[in-house]
Structure 1
Amino acid sequence: MSTAAVAILLVASMLAVGTAATVDDFRGLARRRRVVVSAVAVNVIVLPGLAVMLVSMAHLRAEVALGLLLAAAAPGGGTGALLTLHARGDLAVSAALQVVLAPVGLLAVPVWAAAAGYTVIPSGVAGLLLVGGGLFGQIVPLAGGMWLRRSRPDRAARVHRAARRVADVLLAGLVLYFVITGVGRLPEVGWAGVAVIAVLVAASLTTVTLPWLGSPAERRAVAMTTGVRNLTLGLFFAAAASPTVVLTLLAYGLLMYGMCVPAAWALARTAPVPAG
């Protein structure tokens, strides 16, 4: 149930982003390559590396450690772009990161898992379907939304409102689902595991304070995109793992949304910031 909801939320979020972004937004990123490269490095190298270090220091159970690594190594959660909209961040940066991180994440997760001694990607057709489905669910709605915005802006505006409404409702429902199903079972993950999750999410959000990541609007986009991990990808890779791995991913989702959503709302209350 949670996997299906996250998948639908991913598509709706990327469609909302696509119908709000333009080709010119992406062309403007050519002047901001440093921001994109730095953000990708934070998502693909720094945060997973921090997770490996914290998991080792905390001496977590193998299943909990794997769940944490899957979440930390899975960048590009679609709702990061949605929260960027709410936080009044730079949507072009967030959307570009989604495009880059979608395929990169499909490689980063099994690579980091293998580095930690785990095999998570199925062999043969199952593995190809997993990778293809992950790309399809992110790139297609984003590209379709941008095409609609370019060719039929009036219709794109209506689709954007509908997609964002659906995404907002699903996001609220998913947060509630994580609260109902996850809070009572957090002790099964262990308080050390919960503490590691909280540190990882907090570290992701602190990117909003790093001046070398660009303008305030760009930093908001990086913080929201980094804070929200790709739970769809993590849950798919965890499909053949133990229930404890899935529970750990749900716990990560609970704390992730519990910290990122209020952060986005807090940023939204501040004065709008211009794109860099």
Structure 2
Amino acid sequence: MSTVAVVLLLVASMLAVGTSTGVPEFRALLRRRGLVAAAVVVNVLVLPGVAVALVTAAGLRPEVALGVVLAAAAPGGGTGALLTLHARGDVTVSAGLQVLLGPLGLVAVPLWAAVAGHSVVAPGAGGLLVVGGGLAGQVVPLAVGMWLRRTRPPTADRVHRVARRAADVLLAGVVVYFLVTGIGRLPQVGWAGVGVIVVLVVASLLPVFVGWGSPAQRRAVAMTSGVRNLTLGLFFATAASPTVVLALLAYGLVMYGLCVPAAWALARSPAVPTRS
């Protein structure tokens, strides 16, 4: 998939979230320190740690194991907040976590890769610019959307409708892309590798049922944790073998294959309060 499509999806998703979220909600998020801390621990420590343990226990090939660990260690995927919006979760929690987890992923990914026995530190300032651009792609449209909501609510409503439709179309395109490019190549990853990925994605969605906060907050943590930052993972995989990239694509296929239906099912469930 072209870089342009990925960037547009990121921008549209965060603009849709920003135009439905206000500054007071973010201030309230700062008071939920226990919830935020738990979500950070799950994303930065627990899920990558479980990934390292599973790929070791399953005896996966080194390249496949590295691809799985890179995906599991990369938190803050750009469509987590969009799926939270669809799942009728607390978008403030999801958007705030994305902004927080993005920078943490820059440190978490190479560290967990090192724990798994690989060095993936990208050379040169160009790589940092790519990652920095990805962070800006989250923060800037989110800030613009929040500004519109605060100063021009009617405009914010119109922008929200357009941005959400655009994000939905682009998300569908991403899912189709992973299906077309990945499903026929899953045997190359190995069914043990696919099984490990399924376990990790399912585990990342467990906060829907177990965790702190209100049901809406737990939905936000689950959707945000379920969608990994595959762009960041692919960035660190640029110097690795094609098998590593294939494992990342397989993770994306399983991830969207499970997270999108989960968000759809939650959207059809009874409404939940956004505050505990």
Q: TM-score range by the shorter chain?
A: over 0.9
Alpha-carbon distance in 2 for matches of 1:26, 1:107: 25
Runs of 4+ in 1 over 3 A off after TM superposition: none
Alpha-carbon distance in 2 for matches of 1:181, 1:175: 10
Superposition map of 1:78-227 within 5 A: 78-210=78-210, 212-227=211-226
Q: Identity across aligned pairs (percent)?
A: 72
Secondary structure in structure 1 of the residue aligned to 2:239? coil
Unaligned runs of 5+ in 1: none
Residues 221-252 of structure 1 deviation map (CA, whole Å, 9 limit, x = unaligned) = 01100011011111222222211111111111
Given residue 256 of structure 2, which amino acid in structure 1 is its aligned partner?
Y
Given residue 246 of structure 1, which amino acid in structure 2 is its aligned partner?
V
Alpha-carbon distance in 2 for matches of 1:137, 1:168: 17
Given residue 92 of structure 2, which amino acid in structure 1 is its aligned partner?
A
1:180–1:128 distance in 2 versus 1, CA, 3 Å: closer
2:19 corresponds to: 19
2:73 corresponds to: 73
Given residue 269 of structure 1, which amino acid in structure 2 is its aligned partner?
R
Given residue 30 of structure 1, which amino acid in structure 2 is its aligned partner?
L
Alignment length (residue pairs)? 275
Question: RMSD of the alignment, in Å?
Answer: 1.3
Alpha-carbon distance in 2 for matches of 1:141, 1:121: 29
Unaligned runs of 5+ in 2: none
Given residue 241 of structure 1, which amino acid in structure 2 is its aligned partner?
A
Contact 1:3 / 1:235 at 8 angstroms: preserved in 2?
Answer: no
Alpha-carbon distance in 1 for matches of 2:138, 2:118: 26
Q: CA offset at residue 135 of structure 1?
A: 1.6
Contact 1:88 / 1:217 at 8 angstroms: preserved in 2?
Answer: yes
Alpha-carbon distance in 2 for matches of 1:245, 1:2: 19
Residues 174-211 of structure 1 deviation map (CA, whole Å, 9 limit, x = unaligned) = 1111111111100000001000000000001111111x
TM-score (ref. length: structure 2): 0.96
Residues 59-113 of structure 1 deviation map (CA, whole Å, 9 limit, x = unaligned) = 1111111110110001111111001011110111111101111111111111111
Q: CA offset at residue 124 of structure 1?
A: 2.9
1:51 corresponds to: 51
Alpha-carbon distance in 2 for matches of 1:179, 1:123: 31
1:228 corresponds to: 227
